[in-house]
Structure 1
Amino acid sequence: MYLNCHTYYSLRYGTFSEVELLELARKNQVTRLALTDINNTSAGLNFVRKAQECGISPVLGIDFRNGVVPCFVGLARNNEGYKELNTFLSEYLHEEKPIPYRAPNFENAFVVYPFEQVQQYALDNFLPYEYIGVSLKDLRRLPFSRYGDYRKKLVLLQPVTFRNKKDFNAHRLLRAIDKNTLLSKLSIEEQAHPEEKMYPVVNLAEACKEYPHILENTEYLLHSCQIHFDFSQDRIPQNLKTYTGTTTGDEELLEKLCEEGLPYRYPEGGDHIHSRLRKELELIKEKGFVSYFLINWDIVSYARKKNFFYVGRGSGANSIVAYLLRITDVDPIDLDLYFERFINLYRTNPPDFDIDFSWRDREEMTRYIFTRFENVALLGTYVTFRERGIIRELGKVFGLPKTEIDFLSEGRYHFDKLDEVAQLVLRYGQLIRGMPNYLSIHAGGILISEKPIHYFSATHLPPKGFPTTQFDMVIAEDVGLYKFDILAQRGLAKIKEALQIAWENQPEAAKGVDIHDIRKFVKDPVINNLVKTAQCMGCFYVESPAMRMLLRKLEVDNYLGLVAASSIIRPGVSKSGMMREYILRHRHKGRAEKEAHPVMLDIMPDTYGVMVYQEDVIKVAHYFAGLSLGEADVLRRGMSGKFRSREEFQKVRDKFIRNCRRKGFGEELINEIWNQVASFAGYAFAKGHSASYAVESYQSLFLRAYFPLEYMVAVLNNGGGFYRPEFYVHEARMLGAVIHAPCVNKSQAANCIFGKDIYLGFMYLRDLESRVMDRILKARRQEGPFTSLEDFLDRVFISIEQVSILIRIDAFRFTGINKHELLWQAHLFLGHGNPLEHPKLFPPVHQDFQIPKLHTTDLEAAFTQMELLGFALCSPFQLLKTPPQNRIGSRHLAQSLNGYIDIYGYLVTVKNTKTHSGKRMHFATFVDQYGEVFDTVLFPPVAAKYFFRGRGIYRSYGKVVSEFGFLSIEVIKMEKQDYVQDPRYAEMKTASKRLSNRAIKDDPADPALSGNPE
């Protein structure tokens, strides 16, 4: 009886999920129900999936509105009708145009016009599929309307938006957030009517007893609508079925491509390679995944034609077919990658191929896919209301000042000590927590479907400009749509650009370098020594303090060790306590045999019986707990969060424990193994995925080893990495570079290098306009270097504000003239008016100005650099108000082991974390006076007493400790050190005082100043 039901995917309007809607329907004895979210289809597929489980017949539709103003409700008669509605909505969402109050001619959909809209627009001449919707509150007005005589056209349109008063309160908050207004100023027109609730069917019958034809028409409408999507275990994939047009053609092409790839990948040949290939091809064909492989091959083939760098990773990296097609660069034979993680007979979804491209190339690759294939869309995702966002949004809704909102956001409050309004913000925040706030785009998921995308969902058009589904990857997989992951990362751009810079800066050394020669790199002692000593600043995935710490603890000095470390660092392994156990077993031979269960050690001998990779979950479930490979894969996928609560996952979990008991394992062992599985399976990498990461790490490590300065320039030019840009500048200096501030004759927009001289790019000058950069570079290309400030001002159209930035950063130092004098010159040259941009007909005539002799100090230059670049080019220790009391640094930690140390450090990064009991603690990394890095830890008692107050130099006192050979400091006391006063402002104060005194002396005209009593 309900044709107009909303969930919280009626964004910033609805108040509960599609599952809760179905539960509400069941409570009210409703057996057939229409979901019609406002201009949204996010919940549609899952509503159909869950309705089947609830014994409710689902109907899908859309509530078409302009803002909150209703136009009409569309109800799909069948799947084609749903596609029609989605196509219509998508057109209006893409073009951002208002929806008309009259529906188009739908062939497979019903249209219901709300009673108020029918009256407002005096609608008439209704088509066979068009109806008038009357709500319970409209029944009172029906007898007084000429539409009461339209007996065959009247249906019950009772909207369902709330369950209770709490939902209505949440709705009002959402509407206020959406309108960016105070709750007290939210207009009634922007809110739904409080009576938009679901009532038992008997109540509806009672309310409509004078109008039985309304209920009959409504029943007819509902029973005329049938929607079906296949969510069964053996559902047919909805991806593009064939690449060539026929299944036979696809299979022949795949075999041909594999044969062509064999000599390139395996020049030595081998029966075991052909055997593995045949096994994979048979399974790929049997599972119907041939086109999936060929589409990925097509994508990477285009990338190679365009000379785009890419890395193929994911579970597909366990496949020899993927290796031969050059989708991945990981040899599954060499690494003994677990075949069943890649694919098995029970697997319903294709293997994952995450293909990383440079952040510069990803958009073109996406555009290629949309051009090359039909029925393509980006995959959507939902951004939900979270803690801080809720506080900020509701703080504004309740009228809190920004300072109070900031205070609440920090979370350091006692609830009982807050005022009433602040408590309301926190209390009401619980009502909207976890609700979707707006639609966004999945990090890299692209759908290529056999049927039009609108068969499954409407699409919206985010700023990227590509149609995007209104559902996420979990729902997509449920219905058989499997994504292609086209991702962007900066690491690949760094590698590509570093090679280009090396060819320009060291052409002889760079000649013949093959960045894809991984077999050579993994055996290179220079590169492996960088790994062992954790000298990895700027290198992909291995530069963070946590990874640097792990490499030192594991004493990693080879490729396979790095592969393992790449997965061990993931949250699941570390939080389960197995990271520590892995390190112990790695460092102490014989511990694995003593501590590991024999079955676990037999399953995973390479990792000492410790689960490290995703496929270890499958192995343990299959060999230890006796689950089938299909059940084991359900278990692995079930760990990924959203699947965890699903019924099929719970069944597999119960069987895991039941089988272990049947095998005679003790409860303590069963719980220990299950907790390990549960703690990390959703976070750990597949081994092939880790191997792919390690390949890219070795490529960047090769460049850091042999072209360190060029590589650091490329790192800086591509947005840095884990650290702030100043630390990559510092690292380049430590590697032998001479760092120069931007120069109008040497610098480019990005950083550039000449020999060992690195010139920072204009891009670091925060307030320098990009158009000014372009003009400078264009003038230099056309007429050569600038000879003076006057020459620059003659050739470059620029305002006094913009040229002042360049002068202050000393970009005209080639002139040999002090920058204060240059500022005078610029002001006198440009005057006070805005320069006009026009061609100069005659050579400029310059006047000679008398400018006083001025000077600049290094200290003043450092503070100017901090203001304009964000960091100083000198050592920050030179800026301390009180010089360091000692010269202790990282190099002195070993000799102070288990003793106490007083050390100064410039803060690099802080990791804030919490103990199991929820207490705050910190891990901090610093640079010492010698430019070397050291690490500290602040345990909860110290973290509660001392705080990090932004970047700067801290003096720490603490105990030097060693864990597996990695030295760090357990801080006992810490104090931030003051910098000297900025001399520029000190000079301004002095000058101001001097001028003030001079005015008092020199202006006797004013009796008040002259001291004259008259």
Structure 2
Amino acid sequence: MYLNTHTYYSLRYGTIDSKTLIKQAIDSHLEAIALTDINSTTAALDFVRLAQKNGLKPILGVDFRNNTSQKFIMIAQNDNGYFHINKYLSGFLHQANFKIPNRAKFLPNTYVIYPFQNDFFELESHEFIGVCPQDLNTLKFSKWKQYLHKLVILKTVTFLNKKGFNTHRLLRAIDNNTLLSKLPESEQGSETDIMLPIETLKSLYAEFPKLIENTQHILDTCSITIDITATVSKNQQTYTHNASLDFKLLKKLAYEGLHYRYKRIGRRVFNRLEKELSIIKEKGFVSYFLINWKILKYAQSKDYFYVGRGSGANSVVAYLLRITDVDPIELDLYFERFINLYRTNPPDFDIDFSWRDRDDIMHFIFKRFKHTALITVYNTFKYKASVRELGKVFGLPKSEIDKLSSGAFQVEQLDKLSKLVLIYSKYIQGFPNYLGIHAGGILISDKPIHNYVATFMPPKGFSTAMFDMVVAEDIGLYKFDILSQRGLGKIRETVDIIHYNNPELPPIDIHDIKRFKEDVRIKNMLRKAKAIGCFYVESPAMRMLLKKLEVDNYLGLVAASSVIRPGVAKSGMMREYIQRYRDPKRRKDAHPILLDIMPETYGVMVYQEDVIKVAHYFGGLNLGEADMLRRGMSGKFRSREEFLKVKNQFFENCKNKGHSSQLTTEIWRQIESFAGYAFAKGHSASYAVESYQSLFLKAYYPLEYMVATLNNGGGFYRAEYYVHEARMNGGVIHSVHINKSYYQNYIRGNDIYLGFMNLHSFESNNAQKLITERTKNGSFIDLDDFIDRVTISLEQLTILIKVNAFAFMQRNKRELLWEAYMKVNKVPTEEHVVTLFKSEKITFDTPELSAAQYEDAFDELQYIGFPLCNPFLLLKNPIENRLLAKDLLQHLNKIVTVYGYYVTAKKTPTSKGDLMYFGNFIDFEGDHIDTVHFPPIAKKHPLKGRGVYEITGKVIAEFDCVNIEVSYCEKLAIIQDPRYVDETKIITT
């Protein structure tokens, strides 16, 4: 009897999740129910799955509305009708400002229900009028009473109860950005939009039994039979439209790749290749490999850099097809992690492209493969954000909202409204707020995407499915991951810069990883952790780990890439691994079975496949159960029932094998701590390949590499630190220069000119105009020449002058500012027009003006974000103690005071929930100082952002890594901004 029900995927309107809606339907003794979310089919397939599981007949449709104004409801009679509804809805959702018409377009195999109104109009055979309970009295006096065969029950369900209705109103107020007290009734549903027991509902319509009959007829004649299981892949089934030809092509490509990848091809390679090909064919993954190959063949044709990673990196077929650059034979990668006969889903291939190239790759995929869509993510209401949103809706002052969101309050001291904010913020936590785009997930389906879900069109212009990867995988649609990464952009641009600045040099083969692995300079950089700017190895934590492990080889770096992950660290096994790595005697502490399973990592679980190995060999699980365990740990697994079953089986098997309860519990704790954080070994190996590429460039072309790093958005650190690193490597840093700078940063020899991209508040179109004019008509001679040739406002010109972009004129910039103020309009009115004769410039007697020492630094702080001078020079009280980072080992276990310029800090909660910091600073000479701030000190002496700090503490060392255990920390005052002090006190330069 219910043809119009909503879940909370009727965004900022509905308040019920699918599971609760189905439970309520069963409690109300329903046998069938139609889900018709507002302009959405996001919940449809999950709803079908849950309904069928609970013995309820699911029917699908859409409630088409303009905002809250209901135009009509469309209900699918069958799968074909559902396809047409999805396609019809998508046509609207692909428009920026769509408008639903008053009458629905005819779609095959669908019913249309219009809301009741007094105006009479002709209906087609598949069209009906829906009568709400509140319309029954009006119906008695309406012309529609003569057409009862065209009327059905329209009892809307949007919430469970009064609290649900209150929540609905709050969501509507958030959506309308208005106070709850000012929310119009037209923007909200009715308080009666709740589900009633079936008999109660029928009794309301007892006077019009024909409506009950008509409604039941719709329910009886509708049926959804979509295969929502993952037993059969819904991905594109063939590449060549012929499965046999597909396999022949895959085998041909693999064998052709042997000579490219291997100088010597042994029996081990052939055996592994044939084994993989056999299983890939048996599991039906041939087209999956070929589609990835085709995408990357296009990338190669465009000279795009890419990195293939994920579990697929364990495959020699992927290596031979150049999907990955990781040799699984060399690394002895665990084949069963990649693929086994129990595995139903295809292996993961995460393909990283430069952020500059990814959009073109996406365009190619959408053009080349017929049924393609991006995949969505559900952006949900987070608790703190909900507190702010609801605080505004209730009209609380900002100070009160800040207090509530920070948690700095006593509940018993709050007023009623503030308590309501907290109550409902918790209630809507986890509700979907809006649909976003998955970072890289693309669906390439065998059938049109609209068979499964509607699509919408985000600003990027790529059609996007309205469900997430979990729902997609539930029905057998597995995503291709095409990701954007700035690290590859850095590598590509560095190679380009080197070639441009040094055309006489031979081309760099950035893919010659074997040579890089043996390079002495790179080995030395790794040992000393001199890897700032290098992919995945530049963070303070990774820098210290490399030192502790004394890494100087590829396998060591592969291990480090996974050891650093939270799962290994959390389990306590990172420390254990370091100890066993450095001290062979400690390796005897490993359990013999674990040491036998994982000899390379000394019996410590480091990689994701180690979970499978331990579960299989130690816990006695078969490979299917072990893989289920791995997926359960990853957080992607929906059903916890099967996961718990596998857990119980693990403990039972260990008991039968004679393992002690204590040992089994400890091994399970280690497994559980991975919880989706550990990398597959092939994944780590792929990262290590990119690390080696960036390490090579940093080792031999450090300045070009740092410029490319800045141009590609940096990395772990802010831009200031990469400028510092360039200076430490011999670079001469210049501010923006109107004759030598470009939009991005530019290098010539050792001179690095900051680009216009670094200037805060400077408009990019002005930079483009300046560069275009300079390229066309030559360098600017002076300020007058610049003003004459470039149309620019006084405000924008002022920025250029203040950052010394006219320094080549060797004029005091205060004098230049005075001239600019006299000669330039505040707002430019028109572009310059070239004339035959130039008008004579008016000259002014510029007053003699002086500039203060370090005035440039404060202008740079304002417009670039950091000073180009040594920040220690800006201290109010110059420091005399020059204890440096390089001297700390001489003061081991002693209390020292050092001075450091703040770089970054990592906040980490302790087991008790208290916050502590791991700080990173640079000393006067630019070397690193690492600090540990335990909770009492972190609370008493908090870090307050960038600046120079006086740090007192005990020098400690572990595994050759020096830290200061901080007991006192204070940010030091800097000099007063000389631009705003009394002119008579200015120190001239």
Query: TM-score band (shorter)?
Result: over 0.9
How has the CA–CA distance of structure 1 residues 411 and 556 changed in structure 2, closer, same or farther, with 3 Å as cutoff? Answer: farther
Q: Which residue of 2 aligns with 1:650?
A: 644
Q: What is the percent sequence identity of the aligned residues?
A: 57
Q: Does 1:627 align with 2:621?
A: yes
Answer yes or no: is the 8 Å Cα contact 1:614–1:681 preserved in 2.
Answer: no
Q: Which residue of 2 aligns with 1:7?
A: 7
Q: CA deviation at 1:213?
A: 2.2
| Matched residue type, 1:561 | G
Deviations 1:542-579, CA, capped at 9 Å, x for gaps: 11111112112222111111111111111111112111
Answer yes or no: is the 8 Å Cα contact 2:531–2:543 preserved in 1.
Answer: yes
1:929 to 924, 931, 946: 924
| Matched residue type, 1:317 | A
Helix, strand or coil at the partner of 1:333: helix
Moved more, 648-657 or 823-832: 823-832
How has the CA–CA distance of structure 1 residues 230 and 988 changed in structure 2, closer, same or farther, with 3 Å as cutoff? Answer: farther
Q: In 1, Cα distance between the equivalents of 2:829 and 2:184? A: 50
Q: Which residue of 2 aligns with 1:90?
A: 90
How has the CA–CA distance of structure 1 residues 856 and 59 changed in structure 2, closer, same or farther, with 3 Å as cutoff? Answer: same
Q: Which residue of 2 aligns with 1:265?
A: 261
| Matched residue type, 2:632 | G
Q: Which residue of 2 aligns with 1:452?
A: 448
Helix, strand or coil at the partner of 2:509: coil
| Matched residue type, 1:108 | N
Q: Which residue of 1 aligns with 2:774?
A: 780
Q: Which residue of 1 aligns with 2:41?
A: 41
1:185 to 150, 174, 182: 182
Off by >6 Å, runs of 4+ in structure 1: 988-991
Q: CA deviation at 1:932?
A: 0.8
Moved more, 409-418 or 344-353: 409-418
Helix, strand or coil at the partner of 1:844: coil
Q: Which residue of 1 aligns with 2:506?
A: 511
Q: In 1, Cα distance between the equivalents of 2:71 and 2:872? A: 67
Answer yes or no: is the 8 Å Cα contact 1:798–1:835 preserved in 2.
Answer: no
Q: Which residue of 1 aligns with 2:18?
A: 18
Moved more, 757-766 or 883-892: 883-892
Answer yes or no: is the 8 Å Cα contact 2:545–2:564 preserved in 1.
Answer: yes
- Correspondence 1:260-299 to 2 at 5 A: 260-299=256-295
| Matched residue type, 2:3 | L
Deviations 1:12-60, CA, capped at 9 Å, x for gaps: 0111211111111122222211111111111111111111211111111
Q: CA deviation at 1:123?
A: 4.2
Q: Which residue of 2 aligns with 1:843?
A: 838
Q: Does 1:747 align with 2:752?
A: no
Moved more, 973-982 or 673-682: 673-682
Deviations 1:828-885, CA, capped at 9 Å, x for gaps: 3336674632223312312332112223233111111111111000011111111124
Q: In 1, Cα distance between the equivalents of 2:259 and 2:777? A: 53
1:392 to 377, 388, 393: 388
Q: Which residue of 2 aligns with 1:205?
A: 202
Answer yes or no: is the 8 Å Cα contact 1:86–1:454 preserved in 2.
Answer: yes
Q: Does 1:485 align with 2:486?
A: no
Q: In 2, Cα distance between the equivalents of 1:841 and 1:411? A: 69
Q: In 1, Cα distance between the equivalents of 2:639 and 2:587? A: 34
Q: CA deviation at 1:988?
A: 6.3
Q: Does 1:228 align with 2:240?
A: no
Q: Which residue of 1 aligns with 2:905?
A: 910
Answer yes or no: is the 8 Å Cα contact 2:229–2:476 preserved in 1.
Answer: no
Answer yes or no: is the 8 Å Cα contact 2:567–2:674 preserved in 1.
Answer: yes
How has the CA–CA distance of structure 1 residues 924 and 423 changed in structure 2, closer, same or farther, with 3 Å as cutoff? Answer: farther
Q: In 2, Cα distance between the equivalents of 1:973 and 1:833? A: 51
1:704 to 688, 698, 704: 698
Q: Which residue of 1 aligns with 2:543?
A: 548
Q: Which residue of 2 aligns with 1:152?
A: 149
Q: CA deviation at 1:87?
A: 0.6
| Matched residue type, 1:495 | I
Deviations 1:890-936, CA, capped at 9 Å, x for gaps: 11221121111111111111212211111121111111111111111
Deviations 1:942-982, CA, capped at 9 Å, x for gaps: 12212222221111111111222211111111111111110
Q: Which residue of 1 aligns with 2:104?
A: 103
Q: In 1, Cα distance between the equivalents of 2:142 and 2:863? A: 71
Q: Does 1:321 align with 2:321?
A: no
Answer yes or no: is the 8 Å Cα contact 1:229–1:479 preserved in 2.
Answer: no
Q: Kindly report the root-mean-square deviation, in angstroms, between the aligned alpha carbons of the 2 structures.
A: 1.6
Q: Which residue of 1 aligns with 2:557?
A: 562
Helix, strand or coil at the partner of 2:467: coil
What TM-score, normalized to structure 2?
A: 0.97
Q: In 2, Cα distance between the equivalents of 1:104 and 1:806? A: 58
Moved more, 209-218 or 554-563: 209-218
Q: Which residue of 1 aligns with 2:121?
A: 124
Q: Which residue of 2 aligns with 1:694?
A: 688
How has the CA–CA distance of structure 1 residues 414 and 581 changed in structure 2, closer, same or farther, with 3 Å as cutoff? Answer: farther
Q: CA deviation at 1:419?
A: 4.2
2:981 to 973, 986, 992: 986
Q: Which residue of 1 aligns with 2:598?
A: 604
Q: In 1, Cα distance between the equivalents of 2:242 and 2:135? A: 57
Helix, strand or coil at the partner of 2:159: coil
Q: Which residue of 1 aligns with 2:425?
A: 429
1:137 to 123, 134, 137: 134
Answer yes or no: is the 8 Å Cα contact 1:617–1:681 preserved in 2.
Answer: no
| Matched residue type, 2:569 | S
Q: Which residue of 2 aligns with 1:441?
A: 437
1:823 to 809, 813, 817: 817
Q: In 2, Cα distance between the equivalents of 1:968 and 1:414? A: 38
Q: In 2, Cα distance between the equivalents of 1:419 and 1:434? A: 25
How has the CA–CA distance of structure 1 residues 139 and 658 changed in structure 2, closer, same or farther, with 3 Å as cutoff? Answer: farther
Q: Which residue of 2 aligns with 1:586?
A: 581
Q: Which residue of 1 aligns with 2:656?
A: 662
Unpaired stretches in structure 1, ≥5 consecutive residues: 992-1014
Moved more, 937-946 or 199-208: 199-208
Q: State the aligned residue count.
A: 984
Helix, strand or coil at the partner of 1:855: coil
Q: In 1, Cα distance between the equivalents of 2:670 and 2:522? A: 34
Moved more, 739-748 or 949-958: 949-958
Q: In 1, Cα distance between the equivalents of 2:402 and 2:685? A: 43
How has the CA–CA distance of structure 1 residues 415 and 972 changed in structure 2, closer, same or farther, with 3 Å as cutoff? Answer: farther
How has the CA–CA distance of structure 1 residues 136 and 653 changed in structure 2, closer, same or farther, with 3 Å as cutoff? Answer: farther
Q: Which residue of 1 aligns with 2:335?
A: 339
- Correspondence 1:723-762 to 2 at 5 A: 723-762=717-756
Deviations 1:706-731, CA, capped at 9 Å, x for gaps: 00000000000101111110000001
Deviations 1:183-217, CA, capped at 9 Å, x for gaps: 11111221111111112222223323222222222
Answer yes or no: is the 8 Å Cα contact 2:381–2:431 preserved in 1.
Answer: yes
Helix, strand or coil at the partner of 1:202: helix
Q: In 2, Cα distance between the equivalents of 1:309 and 1:123? A: 64
| Matched residue type, 1:847 | I
Moved more, 94-103 or 859-868: 94-103
How has the CA–CA distance of structure 1 residues 988 and 70 changed in structure 2, closer, same or farther, with 3 Å as cutoff? Answer: farther
Q: In 2, Cα distance between the equivalents of 1:577 and 1:750? A: 44
- Correspondence 1:408-419 to 2 at 5 A: 408-419=404-415
Q: In 1, Cα distance between the equivalents of 2:545 and 2:633? A: 25
Answer yes or no: is the 8 Å Cα contact 2:355–2:484 preserved in 1.
Answer: yes
Helix, strand or coil at the partner of 2:3: strand
How has the CA–CA distance of structure 1 residues 988 and 645 changed in structure 2, closer, same or farther, with 3 Å as cutoff? Answer: farther
Q: In 1, Cα distance between the equivalents of 2:414 and 2:983? A: 43
Q: CA deviation at 1:989?
A: 9.7
Q: In 2, Cα distance between the equivalents of 1:354 and 1:427? A: 41
Q: In 1, Cα distance between the equivalents of 2:35 and 2:548? A: 56
Q: CA deviation at 1:681?
A: 4.0
Q: In 2, Cα distance between the equivalents of 1:649 and 1:228? A: 28
What TM-score, normalized to structure 1?
A: 0.95
Q: Which residue of 2 aligns with 1:357?
A: 353
How has the CA–CA distance of structure 1 residues 622 and 29 changed in structure 2, closer, same or farther, with 3 Å as cutoff? Answer: same
Q: CA deviation at 1:983?
A: 0.5
Answer yes or no: is the 8 Å Cα contact 2:77–2:110 preserved in 1.
Answer: yes
